[in-house]
């Protein structure tokens, strides 16, 4: 009888990519993907602990499977990822949900297949949480879910220890993949027909530092872009403290590198930035923005912004609003500070009341949305190039993003997925565009 799996993914694009790895492992053992949890023989939770909401959501979904597990002992539940890698988290999980069959961490995701085999030979649960990260393992990603886009990890872990962030504790120190391995994987994907590659790392700007700087991140971009052809290259995330002229020159040098740069600022107050351990000032950040825009005309910026960090005053928050206006972001991911046990910020005095956090995030979102709408309005009447990614059955429209991340919708008499197409924009809504497909002569 055919076995089916279902993977529930929380968090960032790195987690999405790691879920592809888990899917590949399951498929190599004869599983096929189920449409929903109810139709699966195994449900795998790939968790995130960056924010409390994601962790609580995961706990709720795991608990919801208790009744089914009780009725069907052959049904398997596995939980892995950042949440389980936290000190004491696996024990807490096992105590709260004793019916979970497999618990694994971020440091041994590649061993999931072996853990699954181990569980098949015994009744008791399998719990494996390595305390320390191991060396980078070069493995072929046998299954991908995001055509025509593909994710490529260039490094793992983080050395920055921002005071609010749990990542260094659950993903370990920085370990860079060999440049030849990254280039080989990227080129192979392009040869297979993928049109957009996103390079992933907690701080891509520090790529190669752990290997003595033999190949820096800008040098890696140059190497990948030696591949001829039409494709896009993106990367995330960049820490502003390491964002310099060499990288700007690499962005400017290659048309394949998208001119939307994600550069998380987090806050506009120098005092708060110091408490966050971000290692740059608001002025330094804006100077780097100016340097980028001077060298790369037409480039746009997206960012991450946090409100309600411990001791944040109204003056501090106003400094953040002022920076948002000065930087003129095309998009921003905004969120409220979430206390994470084990981080330096969790022990700080002056935790901000929830009602104050909510009031400030609403003001920030209003400003960011106004900037985003203005950027979208500037598209009206223009012709833009879209990489078609999917088809929306409800809207009966194809969709894809332009170089700057704007989603564009258009109608077509045939599938355009995986193609670069041009549309003339007639409508805009928030971060979305809609327009008429411009067909090539002879189509």
Binding residues for [4Fe-4S] cluster: 12, 48, 82, 158, 162, 165
267 with 255: CB under 8 angstroms? no
145 with 178: CB under 8 angstroms? no
377 with 338: CB under 8 angstroms? no
26 with 115: CB under 8 angstroms? no
CA gap 399, 391 in Å, rounded? 6
431 Cβ contact partners less than 8 Å away, ≥ 6 residues apart:
331, 372, 376, 405, 406, 407
CA gap 248, 294 in Å, rounded? 10
CA gap 363, 299 in Å, rounded? 26
Strands, DSSP E only, in 378-442? 383-392, 397-401, 407-410, 420-429, 432-438
122 with 101: CB under 8 angstroms? no
Which residue ranges are tagged as binding site? 12, 48, 82, 158, 162, 165
Q: Backbone phi, then psi, for 410, in 5-degree steps?
A: -160, 160
Strand-pair category, 420-429 with 383-392: antiparallel
């Amino acid at each position: 009888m055919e076995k089916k799996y279902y993977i529930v993914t929380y968090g960032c694009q790195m987690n999405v990519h790691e879920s592809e790895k888990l899917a590949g492992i399951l498929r190599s053992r004869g599983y096929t993907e189920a449409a929903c949890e109810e139709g699966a023989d195994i449900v795998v939770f790939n968790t995130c602990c960056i924010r409390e909401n994601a962790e609580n959501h995961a706990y709720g979904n795991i608990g919801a499977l208790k009744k089914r597990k009780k009725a069907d002992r052959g049904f398997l539940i596995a939980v892995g990822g950042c949440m389980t890698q936290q000190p004491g988290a696996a024990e807490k999980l096992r105590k709260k949900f004793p019916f979970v069959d497999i618990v694994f961490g971020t440091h041994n995701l590649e061993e999931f297949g072996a853990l699954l085999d181990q569980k098949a030979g015994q009744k008791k649960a399998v719990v494996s949480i390595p305390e320390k990260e191991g060396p980078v393992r070069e493995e072929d990603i046998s299954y991908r879910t995001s055509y025509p886009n593909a994710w490529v990890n260039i490094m793992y872990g983080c050395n920055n220890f921002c005071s609010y962030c749990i990542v260094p504790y659950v993903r370990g120190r920085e370990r860079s993949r060999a440049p030849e391995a990254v280039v080989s994987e990227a080129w192979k994907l392009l040869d297979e027909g993928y049109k957009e590659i996103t390079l992933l790392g907690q701080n891509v700007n520090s790529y190669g530092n752990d290997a003595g700087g033999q190949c820096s991140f800008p040098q890696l971009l140059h190497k990948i872009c030696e591949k001829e052809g039409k494709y896009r290259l993106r990367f995330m995330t960049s820490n502003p403290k390491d964002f310099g002229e060499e990288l700007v020159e690499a962005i400017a040098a290659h048309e394949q590198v998208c001119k939307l740069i994600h550069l998380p600022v987090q806050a506009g107050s120098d005092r708060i930035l110091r408490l966050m351990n971000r290692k740059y000032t608001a002025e330094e950040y804006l100077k780097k923005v100016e340097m980028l825009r001077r060298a790369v005309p037409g480039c746009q910026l997206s960012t991450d912004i946090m409100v309600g960090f411990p001791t944040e005053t109204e003056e501090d928050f106003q400094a953040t609003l002022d920076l948002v206006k000065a930087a003129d972001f095309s998009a921003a991911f905004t969120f409220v500070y979430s206390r994470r046990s084990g981080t330096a910020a969790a022990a700080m005095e002056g935790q901000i009341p929830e009602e104050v956090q909510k009031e400030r995030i609403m003001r920030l979102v209003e400003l960011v949305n106004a900037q985003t709408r203005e950027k979208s309005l500037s598209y009206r009447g223009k012709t833009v190039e879209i990489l078609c990614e999917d088809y929306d059955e409800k809207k009966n429209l194809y969709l894809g993003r332009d170089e700057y991340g704007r989603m564009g919708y258009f109608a077509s008499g045939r599938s355009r997925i995986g193609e670069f197409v041009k549309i003339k924009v007639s409508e805009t809504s928030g971060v979305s565009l809609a327009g008429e497909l411009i067909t090539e002569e002879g189509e």
